[in-house]
Amino acid sequence: MFGILSLGFLLGMQHALEPDHIAAVSSIAARRTHVGDIVKHGLTWGLGHTLTLFVFAGAAILLGHAIPETVAQPIETAVGVMLVGLGAHVWWRLWRDRVHFHTHSHGDGMTHFHAHSHAGETVALASTSPHVRAAHGHAHGFRWRTLLVGLMHGMAGSAALLVLTVSQAPNPVIGLGYVALFGVGSMIGMGVLSSVIAVPLAASARWLTWANRGLQMAVGAITIAIGIHSIIENAFT
């Protein structure tokens, strides 16, 4: 029994490294600049993922019914649509916060240029006093949107997890324990992965604006590509 439960935990950690999971969390983390905040988002994704894995796969184990393909495929398609939306949102924020260059001349004849972003400006302010920032706040509450993304991913992974559980667990009780540890493993795996993702994003945001924007563009493109692939694979096959 210990071996089966340990296997569930290790497979859960590996499960967190699937491309669509990495893409989703990376797209959420792309516009953030603090390592701790990015890791918290990764753990929140893992919590949502674990909750729906346990509820859906656990219910299927207790009821003795597999999750039918007619249910699993639409959920996978919905996850693909969600990924396309997350990637597009990264690109939209890049456009909204777009950076351009200004040239300045001084009284001594010196001329230089610097980069400038329109992040936080309002139309009214920009029209009367260019480059004045509007007042803005930062939300530090619970990360509900990240939780919802994790919940969706957990629903999509329930069918595959059920197959693994049935093949490994000799009875429903051990099966539920397997599912729970699988979910905990995926949560820890995503926390570790988020730490890895956070370092280049946070460092480039502070010192290399062009590199950070390049990373965000790449994250958006990859997320959209994985989402389109998921939609095609599940909706048109």
| Amino acid, res. 8 | G
Q: Which domain holds residue 16?
A: 1-98+142-235
Q: What is the pLDDT of residues 75-103, one digit of tens each?
A: 888 889 999 999 999 899 888 876 544 55
Cβ neighbours of residue 4 under 8 Å, at least 6 residues apart? 168, 169, 170, 174, 178
Q: Return the residue matching tokens 């009214």.
A: 124
Q: Return the residue matching tokens 């909750």.
A: 51
Provide the whole-model pTM.
Answer: 0.72
The number of distinct structural domains making up the chain is 1
In a domain, 158, yes or no: yes
Beta bridge pairs of residue 105:
111
In a domain, 10, yes or no: yes
Number of C-beta neighbours around residue 70 at 10 A? 7
In a domain, 113, yes or no: no
Number of C-beta neighbours around residue 31 at 10 A? 17
In a domain, 134, yes or no: no
Joined together, the tokens standing for residue 14 give 């590996």
In a domain, 107, yes or no: no
Residue 66 banded pLDDT, cuts 50, 70, 90:
low
| Amino acid, res. 193 | L
CA 100 to chain centre: 28
Q: What is the pLDDT of residues 108-135, one digit of tens each?
A: 555 554 444 555 444 333 444 444 444 4
